[in-house]
Chain A
Amino acid sequence: MGLEYAVQKIQGEHRVKTLPVRRIGILFFICVMAAALAASAHPNPQASKDAPGLAAGGAIRKGIGSPNAPITMEVFGDFQCPACRGFFEGTVKQVIDDYVIPGKVYLVHRDFPLEIHPYAMQAARLANAAAASGQFEAIERALYDHQEQWSIKGNIEEVIAGSFPPAQFKKFQAYESQHLAEINASIDRDKNLGNQRSVNQTPTVFVTSHGKTEALPGGGVDYKLLKQYFDYLLRQ
């Protein structure tokens, strides 16, 4: 009896309906794939958002390049974070050479020292002090290039001092001691901005172009893919 019931089900509507549904499915699949190709070939003129302010009220400028560049790249980083070092060495340096120096990208560093890194805050303070003297790019390079040396004992100044003329480095130290509250406030502003933007790891990159800010996948981005994205944005 049960068998007959099942047979009736198969003989009845089920057998009749199977073929058209399959055809519809195949048609749908073709349509979806065609839409995918069409969508990826034509830019979407939709969606425009206001770019968040980049100055964030901070007096210390931690940017490299021209603020008038068509693209702004913000990197929320921690100077003691190994992934940030890898991102800086593998991607950011090439971005500076190929896009920042030609005036296509304005690169902004945002301090996001993580609690798991005991010397990250100390490094950020020194970087801010150097930035106040217009030496942010040099101190960023020095901190990341020598990260492995200072991140064990926290002897940042001892390791980094060799990368600058003694007089200039003393100037950084003097600025840091005299403007500690201002420096801490600048770092806090960056951290608050990161928290507002739901930054949960370093490095996290935001790219602003055509009045729209996009978060890139956290943990750093390969240069080749970032280059493709920048070239795409510059073509728009």
Chain B
Amino acid sequence: MATTAISAETSARPAAWPRVLLLIGRVALGLVFVVAAYTKLHFNGAWHFSDYYFFFGMAINSYNLLPFWAVELMGRILPWFEVALGFFLISGVALRWVGIVASLLLLAFIGGMVHAYILGLEIVCGCFGNSEKLGPLTLLRDGSLLVLALAVTIGAFLVKKREKRVRAVLSAREETVSS
């Protein structure tokens, strides 16, 4: 009887693989953002903490999408924003909201890239440093990253939803016991 009860309990435990997949997905996406930031801060064989924003700003500006002030602002803050985003994704803090932000950011990147590609602009992608030309491969790669970001976001919401359901059941039981 005891053996049957233990095996029944074990089989009824929630499957671990969704959480594992979510962990792998968010860490992979987080690392991509950290690497993207690294290539914007370290290139031509040296760190560029004091002048990275000129180079990155030039890459952003080549898309012909943003006004000059926005180019300057994005050039300065985006690499650090990517560092923070990568950290949050790897640590799993506020994953649902960070996932939404990452998805929106990637969506904005892809929008800009598609726009430039349709216009036939021969520019660098600016995604991972300044040496990569914008083309079908860069679009495919960023598209895959967007799919990953969306999967992480949806996964984070589903896991949270389940946790909330469990909490609700628990509080209902506590109320029953106390009454």
Inter-chain contact A201/B9, CB cutoff 8 Å:
no
Enumerate chain B residues within 8 angstroms of A10, measured Cβ to Cβ: 163, 166-167, 170
Contact for A219 among B71, B83, B122, B169, CB less than 8 A: B122
Enumerate chain B residues within 8 angstroms of A220, measured Cβ to Cβ: 62
How many chain B residues touch A (CB < 8 A): the figure is: 50
- Inter-chain CA distance A28–B81, complex, in Å, is 12
Inter-chain contact A232/B54, CB cutoff 8 Å:
yes
Chain A residue at minimal CB-CB distance from B51: A232
Say if the beta carbon of B30 comes within 8 Å of chain A: no
How many chain A residues touch B (CB < 8 A): the figure is: 47
Enumerate chain B residues within 8 angstroms of A44, measured Cβ to Cβ: 47-51
- Inter-chain CA distance A1–B44, complex, in Å, is 58
Enumerate chain B residues within 8 angstroms of A56, measured Cβ to Cβ: none
Say if the beta carbon of A58 comes within 8 Å of chain B: no
Chain B residue at minimal CB-CB distance from A82: B122
Say if the beta carbon of A153 comes within 8 Å of chain B: no
Say if the beta carbon of A101 comes within 8 Å of chain B: no
Inter-chain contact B76/A36, CB cutoff 8 Å:
yes
Beta-carbon contacts of B18-58 to A below 8 Å, as 1s and 0s?
00000000000000000000000000111111111111011
Inter-chain contact A201/B133, CB cutoff 8 Å:
yes
Enumerate chain A residues within 8 angstroms of B61, measured Cβ to Cβ: 221-222, 225
Inter-chain contact A219/B167, CB cutoff 8 Å:
no
Contact for B122 among A32, A49, A201, A222, CB less than 8 A: A201
Contact for A5 among B14, B54, B55, B62, CB less than 8 A: B14
Interface residues in B63-83 (C-beta closer than 8 Å to A): 68, 71, 76-77, 79-80, 83
- Inter-chain CA distance A7–B14, complex, in Å, is 11
- The 12 listed contacts between A and B (C-beta, < 8 Å) are A1-B8, A7-B166, A22-B94, A25-B93, A44-B49, A44-B50, A49-B46, A212-B46, A217-B130, A219-B121, A222-B62, A224-B68
Besides the known contacts A1-B12, A217-B123, 15 further A-B residue pairs in the complex with CB atoms under 8 A apart? A10-B167, A21-B91, A25-B91, A25-B93, A28-B84, A44-B49, A46-B47, A47-B46, A49-B45, A198-B131, A216-B55, A218-B130, A218-B131, A225-B54, A229-B54
- Shortest 8 CB-CB contacts between residues of A and residues of B: A47-B46, A36-B80, A25-B93, A2-B12, A1-B12, A39-B49, A44-B50, A43-B50
